[in-house]
Structure 1
């Protein structure tokens, strides 16, 4: 067994090989336990306003009462939530789950076209939307099956300060385009009405779907990954076991800057820390880095999650180096490759190692994490498979390759999705009959069981028959003084098929193309060196700050076509 799973002998002390998914009957059982155990503890804060576990229990019960008692929705119905990180989010989320409904997490930055696709595809009956994004909903709602709309303002639950926030958002910053949704109900009104109905108690089991998490929007039409109550419980327990004694129940404060509608923050920040009575500090607009840093100065936080671009952005924001990092014990990076230069700077400044993990929407999301041990350092790997998880490297035909060989990373475990919503054909492409999830990532496993991503299948650049992996190029270029951000793609070349092109955002305006090329000559072998360098003010990014190489490639194709 250990030959097939070499990682087990490198597990940190106290981490079990397997978890018992039957510890909880559903995600609702996890909520009930946390509400009871940590009643007086603050669960979520936003703009300085905190709500305790007891208050979240009461408010989410009212919301569940509204959904079932007033709207007459029932178990299995879909409800879309289209909000950034505000206090209304966990209340709507937990209320929907307690009513046995399926939550359709919806990116507030969606275009009308993307929103329409998701609402029609999921057949959502209801939606909770922040005022800022209601105009987008207005454009498409008549073409969807949505019957009930609940609207809310950023500051609605923040008390007196909230009225000021709402005024500024609407009249000063003019962030709310005018909209008309005549039958919409305000969130606070929904809570008031829901209070007169009993909390519904549907029977929910492991195989029931909890979330439709839409994914693949950057690779074509978005598909809804069906994440069940069992999937979510598994991932909470797996990651919880991995963190072990690092997490102190009732004592953690985690910075939640990644949006909760994204699977990384949803599982890691919301659910994993909720089970341990953590306080989640919701950052509504992390793109306003100066305001984000100002807020961090006022909080004694013990944990933070992010993607590489978020950590890099913080490191480059004035005032970040003045924060008291003494309570910080856990920094987690995922969602995209963490660059060594960023990880090393982060650890040097904060005194806390940046631990990289890996997963995808279809695995709820966590599949591997680096060991959480004292003296842990950034090592370039995505870690070891977590309890009850197997990773294999497979070839195109699904044959398992030996340790050290490069192929497609495949995941097996109780956190792997049930399939794509109403898409059996797409499900069959990624899920084998014996439960292996094909990730589309190319990697290898070393003799100790550590997994390394070499790159995305579709991002690979082929130069004169040599495979070039953008991650490697970007990692090297990031170390060049004066570089803030970089993305590498392949562009057609008549001699070698493809050559490497890089897009660079400068930190130092004095950085020239020649200096950068000289640096690459010193650090990269001939065929890997960028032949074309383009300086830009910004790079295209997804809603969680992942650099979109695909958009850069598509731009090039469009230019070539003309």
Structure 2
């Protein structure tokens, strides 16, 4: 295998503006080409290569088969009279023909709005009321919820099921019989690279998810350098995750082989996938990685094929990262990625885990970073403030929500992440916590992440979430909900005592106590819901500090 390393950013720092830059972005393809046009041409170049293998449905598709299927779906959309101003709805797992639906949208220059399969009917209604799709692809598992939502919204939408088809539904297999339009070619984008490629959902950690537009820009290309065609990639994320969208595009553009699965995330099954298909490029969320390193199969599975393991999207304990690193053989194989869906691209990559294990990395090409204080003044190295990004590309904002868009991006097109962090003298970004999660004990500021890092050092801890519980005298007292590793013993008092012994300030101790839980509250995209976890803590403790 060609084990070329991805681009490692060469960072520059403007001492006057106090801005770090990953350098100029270079296009691999002519800049006027859309993502759909690139995928269409690249799939035509390598028709016999394996594009996708489903580990659950046991299907294998060549690039020619995927391309033809996508052209059939795109031709069906054109027969319905759908235009680039229309939106396609998606609520689906990674089944065999989902890639054809995604590529069909790309070929037609028509964005899809992808929702998570776990959304209830009310959330589906709220999100689809924003985009009002005319065509919806969903799994039969969610069919009734989708039908009910469209009826409530009075949407004149055609619904097509992808698996577990109800008797009354139109099936994806029916659509794949559509004749391909004569002389089929991808549509020319009416708005060029600024046109919306897809609409994903925000994590929903602070309420109903927002509809986040993703721009049709080559900045989205996943690895920041061309990947060899013998890469075998696996990512469990569905198309409502930025990582899922990126990997779907990655496969089409760089002719890699994508392993997919439509089951619920199962770390033991992931071990099986890696071993059977010799996965070389693994992408996962920190929560998935925590489950992977904690499963019984992890210590014996053969991971020697992996030459790149990328993870990110939220905080990840250093202990989990070290456990993963201990089983991987390639140098610089563990890569932390940092981005927001709103960025439409990667922001930072850390290719130096062994030297900088706590960092989320350096800005990639085309990305600029600055750290600002509460007065919006830019700060220098090692000074903590809010992390802001400039992507150098157009972003259309939150679909149908200009007010929220203005709170996210300022007049100079800087995205305000809400994350607190600092850049070290070497240009590596370190995150401290979310700005809104800042706690104050007797007027002394501290952050949950500081306490979480201590608790994660306990050998029997799998995951932890720390939050503040209000006390009339002290203010925010730290409390913790802790998930223990399977088959181990751990009490709440063990956690409280460990923090007291290993933390350097009494105001950071677990003064509001701790509880042991089976799992943490999470958003559909896998991010820990701090407020929901706190609500469960308060319900369980009922005023008792140590449980």
TM value normalised by structure 2: 0.89
Alignment of 1:368-517 (within 5 A): 368-371=348-351, 376-377=354-355, 379-415=357-393, 417-507=395-485, 508-517=487-496
Report which of the two has the higher share of helix.
Answer: 1
Higher mean alpha-carbon deviation, 444-453 vs 192-201, is at 192-201
Higher mean alpha-carbon deviation, 449-458 vs 465-474, is at 465-474
**1:71-107 residue CA offsets vs partner (Å, 9 max, x unmatched):** 1111221001110111221111111121121110111
Alignment of 1:174-253 (within 5 A): 182=168, 184-195=169-180, 199=184, 201-204=186-189, 205-215=192-202, 217-230=204-217, 233-236=218-221, 239-241=222-224, 243=225, 247=227, 249-253=228-232
> How many pairs does the alignment contain?
520
Q: Which residue of 2 aligns with 1:299?
A: 277
Higher mean alpha-carbon deviation, 456-465 vs 491-500, is at 456-465
Q: Secondary structure at the match of 2:198?
A: strand
Q: Secondary structure at the match of 2:377?
A: coil
In the TM superposition, residue 282 of structure 1 has moved relative to its aligned partner by 0.9
* Structure 1 unaligned residues grouped into runs of 5+: 155-165, 167-175
Distance 1:235 1:456, change over 3 A: same
Q: Which residue of 2 aligns with 1:157?
A: none
Q: Secondary structure at the match of 1:474?
A: helix
**1:493-532 residue CA offsets vs partner (Å, 9 max, x unmatched):** 1221011100011225422233322321232122112121
Q: Secondary structure at the match of 2:205?
A: helix
Q: Which residue of 2 aligns with 1:101?
A: 110
How far apart are the structure 1 equivalents of 2:273 and 2:288? Answer: 15
**1:422-459 residue CA offsets vs partner (Å, 9 max, x unmatched):** 22221111111111011111111122211111111122
Q: Which residue of 1 aligns with 2:236?
A: 257
Q: Is the 8 A contact 2:440 2:476 kept in 1?
A: yes
Q: Secondary structure at the match of 1:259?
A: coil
Q: Which residue of 2 aligns with 1:18?
A: 25
In the TM superposition, residue 301 of structure 1 has moved relative to its aligned partner by 0.7
Alignment of 1:127-146 (within 5 A): 127-144=136-153, 146=155
1:57 pairs with one of 67, 73, 78: 67
Q: Is the 8 A contact 1:150 1:187 kept in 2?
A: no
TM value normalised by structure 1: 0.86
Q: Which residue of 1 aligns with 2:525?
A: 544
1:116 pairs with one of 121, 125, 129: 125
Q: Which residue of 1 aligns with 2:14?
A: 3
Q: Secondary structure at the match of 1:323?
A: coil
**1:136-181 residue CA offsets vs partner (Å, 9 max, x unmatched):** 1122211235433343343xxxxxxxxxxx5xxxxxxxxx8xx68x
How far apart are the structure 2 equivalents of 1:377 and 1:271? Answer: 31
Higher mean alpha-carbon deviation, 36-45 vs 531-540, is at 36-45
How far apart are the structure 1 equivalents of 2:250 and 2:392? Answer: 16
Q: Is the 8 A contact 2:233 2:279 kept in 1?
A: yes
Q: Secondary structure at the match of 2:193?
A: coil
In the TM superposition, residue 461 of structure 1 has moved relative to its aligned partner by 1.9
**1:450-495 residue CA offsets vs partner (Å, 9 max, x unmatched):** 1111111122222222222222222221220211211111111122
How far apart are the structure 2 equivalents of 1:35 and 1:220? Answer: 40
How far apart are the structure 1 equivalents of 2:535 and 2:262? Answer: 31
Cα RMSD after superposing both structures:
2.5
Higher mean alpha-carbon deviation, 193-202 vs 434-443, is at 193-202
How far apart are the structure 2 equivalents of 1:39 and 1:376? Answer: 40
**1:255-284 residue CA offsets vs partner (Å, 9 max, x unmatched):** 1112232112211x2223432211111122
How far apart are the structure 2 equivalents of 1:379 and 1:348? Answer: 13
* Structure 2 unaligned residues grouped into runs of 5+: 1-11
Q: Is the 8 A contact 2:40 2:186 kept in 1?
A: no
In the TM superposition, residue 197 of structure 1 has moved relative to its aligned partner by 6.3
**1:160-213 residue CA offsets vs partner (Å, 9 max, x unmatched):** xxxxxx5xxxxxxxxx8xx68x5x421111121254666364211101111112
**1:521-551 residue CA offsets vs partner (Å, 9 max, x unmatched):** 2321221121211111121122232221121
**1:280-316 residue CA offsets vs partner (Å, 9 max, x unmatched):** 1112224333333333331201011111111111112
Q: Which residue of 1 aligns with 2:500?
A: 521
